[in-house]
A and B are shown apart, each in its own frame.
Chain A
Amino acid sequence: MDFPSNAAPMPVVVNSLSKYFHSAATFNSFNVSTIGTGSSPGSTTSPMMPFTIPSPYLVKSLFIANGITATGNTDIGIYQAGATTAGCSAVVTAGSVAMSGANVLQIRTLATPVLLPPGSYYLAVYNSTSGTFNGVTLTAVQASQCGLLETPGALSSTVSLQRSTGLHYYLAGFSRLASGY
């Protein structure tokens, strides 16, 4: 017989509006406008969306929903949530590539899958110019209540954290399928 598992089940695809992201329920209590076709985070900030997973999850790909303007370079990564805002370390970043395709999910298959232990993380997204992603713009209060943070500039192995000024929240996620979906 199989050994019983204590692991809480996880879906194949996890997106930034699912129950694993702290903001998902908060969005609905705020009656935030629906996910739109696009807004740009700008090149000076990268939104960092907090999430918690209850069981180990093997990440084989990351994705971001491109908006109506696909320009510049884009990056996406997962960061370990730290005890302070001084900084946190990347678990994985997909690496900067040209933004490809308007209004599509841009899939970033990882060369080496990454196993996330149970815990809290940030999903971070970046665009180098004015490329847009599907998402919403929050008020400062809403962003704070959602736990939305950001880091100045592009993604790197270690980033500093600050309260969100861009107030952008995007449709992105990760998958245990290499193909993303």
Chain B
Amino acid sequence: MGAWPENNAPVGNGVCIAGPSTINGGLLEVAAFVSGSVATNTNMTGGYAMYRQFIVESDTYISHVSWQLGTASTPVTFNTLEIGIYSEDRIRLTTTGSFQTAASTSQTAKTLAFSPAVTLRSGCYYLAYHNKDWSSTAQYANPWFGSPALTINKHRAMGSFEENVGNASTLLPATATFAVVTANTGTSGSPAITLLGRA
């Protein structure tokens, strides 16, 4: 007998496929929670990461992540961020690593590579986004553009969690420790972050 037949659709590549900006990542909820377009600066307490659930319906190749930077504030130099993907059982699958964005790129689209690129099987995952330096006045305070602010209840109802990961040099953990959403992340908006299978 041959190999078990696979029922998954072919590996996707090159379209906007996963993350908070899609129907499988909470887009419908956010549209019902708050009105308005993706045009609001949003942030979390420095050092905190938010884990946002999303599903992948068929094998999906992920190599990059795209998001929109917020508006630079004064004083402005740069901001340190990290974005990663975790399995449902909270194991880190890939990350951008720690990176800095210059204030000169305020309000622009930003694309960065994951290392390694991954093929996500059909299932539930968490997108982690980590603002590392908000508390520093030398760095600008709006790493993301997103929806207007949500509430703690709404973030919890969307299956999100948070973790105090630490600041600039601390990478997202290999195994996440989920904590319930508090005011440290719970009043942030939903950031415009999309996972991609291309640069």
Is the beta-carbon distance between A6 and B7 smaller than 8 angstroms? yes
Q: Which of B145-195 contact A (CB under 8 A)?
A: 151, 153-154, 156-161, 180-181
Interfacial residues of chain B within 21-75, with CB under 8 A of chain A in the complex: 23-24, 26, 28-29, 31-35, 53-57
B178 to A: closest C-beta gap in Å: 9
Q: Is the CB of A171 within 8 A of B153?
A: yes
Query: Which of A18-26, A41-49, A75-83, A124-132 is the interface stretch?
Result: A18-26
* Interface contact tally, CB-CB below 8 A: 92
The number of residues on chain A lying at the interface, defined by a beta carbon within 8 Å of a beta carbon of chain B, is: 35
- 26 pairs across A/B with beta carbons < 8 Å? A1-B4, A4-B7, A8-B122, A9-B55, A9-B56, A9-B57, A9-B124, A11-B53, A15-B29, A17-B33, A24-B28, A24-B29, A28-B28, A28-B31, A28-B32, A33-B35, A34-B34, A34-B35, A63-B157, A65-B154, A104-B153, A105-B153, A171-B153, A171-B157, A180-B156, A181-B181
Q: Out of B7, B34, B55, which one reaches A11, CB within 8 Å?
A: B55
Instruction: Tell me which of A8, A9, A65 contacts B153 (CB under 8 A).
Output: A65
Chain A residues within 8 Å of B122, by CB:
5, 8-9
Residue of A nearest to B181 (CB): A181
Distance in angstroms between the alpha carbons of A175 and B31 in the assembled complex: 21
Contact of A19 with B28 in the complex, beta carbons under 8 Å: yes
* CB pair A3 B180 closer than 8 Å: no
Main secondary structure of the interface of A (DSSP, over half): loop
Residue A140 is within 8 A (CB to CB) of chain B in the complex: no
Q: Is the CB–CB distance between A10 and B7 below 8 Å? A: no
Instruction: Tell me, in angstroms, the Cα distance from A63 to B157 when the chains sit together.
Output: 8
* Interface residue ranges of A44-89 to B (CB < 8 Å): 63, 65
A114 on interface, CB distance cutoff 8 Å:
no
Smallest Cβ distance from A164 to chain B, in angstroms?
Answer: 17
Asked if A105 contacts B157 (CB within 8 A), the reply is yes
- Closest-by-CB residue of A relative to B160 is A181
